[in-house]
Each structure stands twice: as structure tokens, then as C-alpha cells.
Amino acid sequence: MAYASDIRTANGGLADRFAALTKDLGARYARYKTYRATLNELAALSDAELRDLGLCRAQVRSVAYEHVYDAH
């Protein structure tokens, strides 16, 4: 016996693709703003405060990046 199905994927038009693009760009910008805020806060700490956190000044960028972009 043969079965037929007619399944169509939603192939969005130009307006849908533009909306998805602006949503993606907005999410990327929000993550970047969070990264910059985290970076600025860590950079404002003194060396003693960073040492209390177990960090050195050279790690500030990587810690801020991991906090924002590697978080699942």
C-alpha cells in the first residue's frame, strides 16, 4: 500500500527573513553589551580584588568572554 503526504515547510518571505535578521542582530548586540559591561566591571577592580577572586589582570578579557559567550 502506498501513502502520500503533502508536507510543506514554511518558506518565509522577505519580511520574515528581515525580522529574523533584526532579531538575531538584536540578540548579538545584547550579548556584546553584556560582555562590555562585564569587562568594564572586572577592569575597574584593583589588583588585590582580582587576586581575591583568583584572577590576574591578564585574565579579565577571557573571563568576561567566557561569562557571556560560553555560557549555555
In a domain, 1, yes or no: no
Domain that holds residue 21: 14-69
Q: Tell me, what DSSP letter sits at residue 70?
A: S
In a domain, 6, yes or no: no
Residues 11-53: tens digit of each pLDDT: 678 999 999 999 999 999 999 999 999 999 999 999 999 999 9
User: Residue 60's closest CA among 40, 33, 30?
Assistant: 40
What is the per-residue pLDDT for 3?
72
What is the H or E stretch that residue 18 is in? Answer: helix 14-44
In a domain, 28, yes or no: yes
In a domain, 56, yes or no: yes
In a domain, 50, yes or no: yes
d(CA 8, CA 14): 18
d(CA 22, CA 28): 10
Residue 60 scores a pLDDT above 70: yes
Give pTM, 2 decimals. 0.73
When divided into structural domains, the chain yields a total of 1
In a domain, 4, yes or no: no
In a domain, 57, yes or no: yes
